[in-house]
Amino acid sequence: MSRFRHAIKNRDQHILTLRMACGILVLVLLLTLSGWMASPRNLTIHNPPDLRTGSTRPWWEVPTPSVYSFAFYIFQQLNAWPKNGAQDYPAKIYALSPYLTPACQDFLREDAKTRADSGSCSTGCAWCMKFPAGAMGRAV
């Protein structure tokens, strides 16, 4: 009889141990969730190449060099017509439309129509490239 009583006691102790482990896991989960919810308010991004502001900035602030390089990349892609500008320019506007505001898309569509009417983009291909030694914001 004693053997069965000890088996039941051991089972109850094991169940208690598992419940305590589950309680600890729930506590760790709650601590993790509270830290996760509080983290966006305190997030700071470190940008080593840009030392103007002590190399730190809030996460919502977009660095100026990133804006210029993104704008240049989009401008370069829009004005690269490998075959025929009359067909490639509207196709590029459509392909890059997720990166353009609606007002910019309207302006570019009107520009493509104006260029097509004047015949300035039907002559062939065109490319837009950056100066090899040029820098953004500095007179060359």
The single residue listed with the structure tokens 């991004």 is: 45
DSSP code string of 73-85: HHHHHHT-BSS-H
Looking at 42-101, list the stretches that DSSP marks H as alpha helix, in order from N- to C-terminal side: 64-78, 85-95
Convert the pLDDT of each residue in 84-130 to its tens digit.
777 888 899 999 999 999 999 999 999 889 888 887 776 666 666 66
Instruction: Answer yes or no: are the C-beta atoms of 96 and 74 closer than 8 Å.
Output: yes
What integer pLDDT is reported at residue 32 of this predicted model? 95
Q: Is the dihedral of CA 59, 64, 67, 70 positive or negative?
A: negative
pLDDT bin (cut points 50, 70, 90) of residue 139 is: very low
CA distances from 82 to 14, 105, 120 (A): 73, 21, 15
Q: Regarding predicted confidence, which is higher, 136 or 113?
A: 113
Mean pLDDT in the chain?
A: 80
Could you say which DSSP state residue 100 is in? S
Per-residue pLDDT at 103: 95
Inform me whether the pLDDT recorded for 138 exceeds 70: no
Q: Counting every residue, how long is the chain?
A: 140
| pLDDT band for position 67 (cuts 50, 70, 90) | confident
